[in-house]
Amino acid sequence: MIKKYCITLKRIAMKKLVISLTGGLFFYLSLINSSNAQVILPEVTVTGSNSYITLNEKLYKTFNHIFKEASDIKWYGVDKNFVAKFMMNEQKNQVAFTKNGTMIYHLTYGFEKNLPKDVRAQVKRRYFDYTIMSVVNLKQDNRNIWLINLHDAVNIIGLRVEDGSMDEMEKYFKQTNEAVAAYK
């Protein structure tokens, strides 16, 4: 009877872990589509990923002017626009342009060391016991938004920081062996 009860508790704990991990995969998507100051990226259909893409001269010049240090550049046709994925300053980047060279958005993926000092200080003042796991910088329509993942022993938190305003977008309970042992 006790053995069956322990197995049931382990299954519940595993189920919660799988659900938590699955939720984490959709974390950034929910950050982008949450709250009152939403940033909505255009709905896209990827086409031509295995074929050659021809960039017009204006788009090519715009990209090279803005991203002089870019390397490992891969271009994709998306709807009637273009998306470039590349490395710059040891960070992954993604940028979308209209066919005439107007930037739609720019994403930069990084870590705590990539945060501006003022943003890092603002986060650490409130969440001093948390570790910053990853950051994404979204630039769109003259907006500069930082999406930040933090964690401590118990929680995973998703923040959005824009213009000095910090919002907690998501908060997940982190399933740990210690928490399961305490539950038993």
Averages of pLDDT over runs of 10 residues in the chain (184 residues) are 42 44 42 45 47 83 95 92 96 95 96 97 96 97 96 94 95 70 41
State which fold the 37-108 domain adopts. Nuclear Transport Factor 2; Chain: A, (3.10.450)
- Encoded amino acid at 145, one letter: I
Distances in Å between the Cα of 23 and the Cα atoms of 18, 120, 130 are: 9, 25, 19
Q: In DSSP terms, which residues pair with 150 in a beta bridge?
A: 132, 157
CATH code 3.10.450.360 region(s) in the chain: 37-108
Tokens 């603002």 locate to 122
| Nearest CA-CA partner of 88 in 105, 71, 110 | 71
pLDDT at 178: 53
CA distance 59 to 97: 8
136 Cβ contact partners less than 8 Å away, ≥ 6 residues apart: 28, 107, 108, 109, 110, 146, 147
This prediction's pTM: 0.68
